[in-house]
Structure 1
Amino acid sequence: MTSADDGPNPDYTEELLSGLKERGVNATFFLLGKEVEKYPDIVKDISDSGHLIGTHSYEHVNLSNLSDAAAIEQVDKTNAAIHDITGKYPEYIRPPYGCWKCNLDYETKMIEVLWDVDPKDWATDNSGVIAKRVIDKVEENDIILLHDASESSVKAAFAIVDELKKEGYTFVTVEEILME
């Protein structure tokens, strides 16, 4: 299962959507509210393509460093922006840096989603290295963290999907994996 963070990205998200469609794969996109407001057409494309949309915060801040009110604002503002475009409120959140405030579970009623495999694709532009980091480590039911903000990450995503499908893996959204 693959998920993409930090988008939507005007240069790479559409390329990722196209390649996932060719491969018959749905993923989960954890979006930044600030980017959602800038690129509503891309958000609509993500939703219309059958991918799951989750919240990543409004400005990619460490929510655990904020007051409760400020953290809730980061979440609520993003959820509202996504709802305005898709008609649906996200149910899942991936907090930036994996840092969540446990007391916000009650306030937001969202399900926190982290990851099992992080190839640190943001730290290299070598798609082969990114793909190898995932393929060497991934196991059944793992959540793979990738970003849709660079060409290398998108190419790595395609290589990962192609190789793991050959190995018998299937790709689903986080909702499908968490609700099993």
Structure 2
Amino acid sequence: MRRRTSEDAKSEIREAALGLFLQHGYDGTSLEEVAEQVGVTRPAVLYHFGSKEALLLSVVDPGFEAVEAVVADVERDGAGLVDQETIVRALVEVVLEHRRPIALITRFANEYSVGGIGERAAGINRRTARLLGCPTKEADTGARVRVVATLAALNGIVDARVALPLDSEEEREALVRGLVALLKS
């Protein structure tokens, strides 16, 4: 039997924490529960992550990093040169690929006290809204509402995906078309 490496343990702890945070919430999950699920001690969890908040941040970082990479790529390429459909398609792929960490991020989107997750999510939402055609609060009310509705729908697929996997190319394409139609309505 292969011995568990430090990286293996960290990965298992992150995966257990992600599942427990999604199931019971941040406040409803203890480090003891995470440790028990992995078969380590609470001090072992703290050894690898330092605190419960640091563990949470390590769990959501992959979701943040994936979305931030898409947004940064579009910003770098020039938002005016990238059409809304291309942006939506990239966001759909990232959200579906990183559904679990992004689900946790969306639960903290309005919570500004835990690890800065709310502030980071709000910043990404503002940047994404600009890319989708809503540059300022003073923008056309209809455009703002359509962008907000599109972002809300995109976040909604995170939880809806439990019942509807959206694994086929046809389903993903229908989702992209629906979100783009919402933007242009």
Q: TM-score range by the shorter chain?
A: under 0.3
| Superposition TM-score, scaled by structure 2 size | 0.27
| Superposition TM-score, scaled by structure 1 size | 0.28
Higher RCO structure, 1 or 2 (CA under 8 Å, sep 6+): 1
**Bigger strand share:** 1
**Bigger helix share:** 2
